[in-house]
């Protein structure tokens, strides 16, 4: 590390914010695992009850932690090349999608084995909305920003929408996780929940940690002076695949 050339440093507040988000994110995953292991019998794919437990763990890893980290890469690697950062952003979202898909298969298969009905609760409605839109957003991101087709003007028009929906989908995913926690508690420990059973308290704290993760990620992303500084290289990279006949759009990217 000492041999690396000096490079522009990140603002200290940004470093603390990102560190806090990672501590909270890992705490969320650990507590979800602890809850499922300690109180819900652990994980297994073949057993219908334990297969269900794969669902919350995968959704929290995929649609909360990995999705959040995918949004943070433009802040964490704000001095790296835009192209590498973009590829990392796309890869983290792809990983999040795959992990979330495993989580979805787990709950549908588990319900099917047990003969439980699907898709009737507010949790499931919000969840399928979040997952469906997340997949669409990933495809649009790939089409607009990684494939060569889209012009610079089109990319500039779509980018604010992509950024807004990224934040919205992380928020909706976290809200869906909160609904999932409450639903599971009211199904499994309804009576002892109201007398502050340790499992209920643990899961409530997990819920607040999820909120805190979302708040810290949201804070880091919206802080104006922590945004990626525009560097000379960026315009050139944005132009990489640019349709060369479209140069007039350069002067006014909006």
Residues binding a second copy (CB under 8 A) = 116-117, 120-123, 125-126, 129, 160, 164, 167-168, 171-172, 174-175, 178-179, 181-183, 185-187, 190, 193-196, 200, 203-204, 207-208, 211, 214-215, 218-219, 222-224
The secondary structure of 107-136 as a DSSP string is HHHHHHHHT---S-SHHHHHHHHHHHHHHH
Least CB distance from residue 102 to a second copy, whole Å? 24
Q: Which is nearer to a second copy, 149 or 198 (CB)?
A: 198
DSSP 12: H
DSSP 43: -
Least CB distance from residue 60 to a second copy, whole Å? 15
Answer yes or no: are the C-beta atoms of 61 and 29 closer than 8 Å. yes
Least CB distance from residue 1 to a second copy, whole Å? 32
Q: Which is nearer to a second copy, 147 or 187 (CB)?
A: 187
Least CB distance from residue 144 to a second copy, whole Å? 18
Rounded CA gap, 198 and 168, in Å?
32
Beta strands in 28-157, from DSSP E residues, in sequence order: none
Least CB distance from residue 194 to a second copy, whole Å? 5
- Please name the helix (run of DSSP H) or strand (run of DSSP E) that holds residue 194, with its range, or none: none
Q: Which is nearer to a second copy, 17 or 62 (CB)?
A: 17
Q: Which is nearer to a second copy, 106 or 203 (CB)?
A: 203
Answer yes or no: are the C-beta atoms of 96 and 39 closer than 8 Å. no
């Amino acid at each position: 590390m000492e041999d690396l050339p000096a490079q522009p440093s990140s603002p200290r507040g940004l470093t603390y914010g990102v560190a806090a988000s990672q501590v909270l994110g890992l705490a969320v995953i650990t507590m979800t695992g602890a809850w499922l292991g300690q109180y819900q019998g652990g994980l297994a794919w073949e057993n219908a009850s334990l297969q269900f437990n794969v669902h919350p763990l995968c959704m929290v890893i995929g649609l909360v932690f990995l999705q959040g980290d995918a949004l943070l890469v433009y802040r964490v690697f704000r001095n790296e090349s835009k192209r590498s950062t973009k590829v990392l952003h796309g890869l983290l979202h792809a990983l999040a999608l795959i992990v979330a898909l495993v989580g979805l298969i787990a709950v549908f298969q588990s319900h099917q084995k047990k003969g439980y009905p699907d898709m009737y609760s507010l949790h499931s409605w919000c969840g399928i909305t979040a997952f469906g839109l997340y997949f669409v957003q990933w495809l649009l991101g790939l089409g607009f920003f990684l494939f060569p087709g889209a012009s610079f003007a089109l990319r500039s028009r779509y980018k604010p929408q992509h950024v807004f929906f990224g934040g919205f989908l992380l928020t909706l995913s976290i809200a869906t996780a909160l609904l999932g926690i409450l639903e599971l508690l009211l199904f499994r420990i309804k009576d002892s929940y109201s007398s502050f059973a340790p499992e209920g308290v643990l899961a409530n704290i997990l819920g607040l940690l999820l909120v805190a993760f979302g708040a810290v990620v949201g804070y880091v992303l919206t802080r104006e002076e922590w945004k990626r500084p525009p560097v000379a290289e960026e315009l050139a990279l944005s132009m990489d695949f640019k349709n060369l006949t479209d140069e007039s759009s350069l002067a006014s990217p909006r």
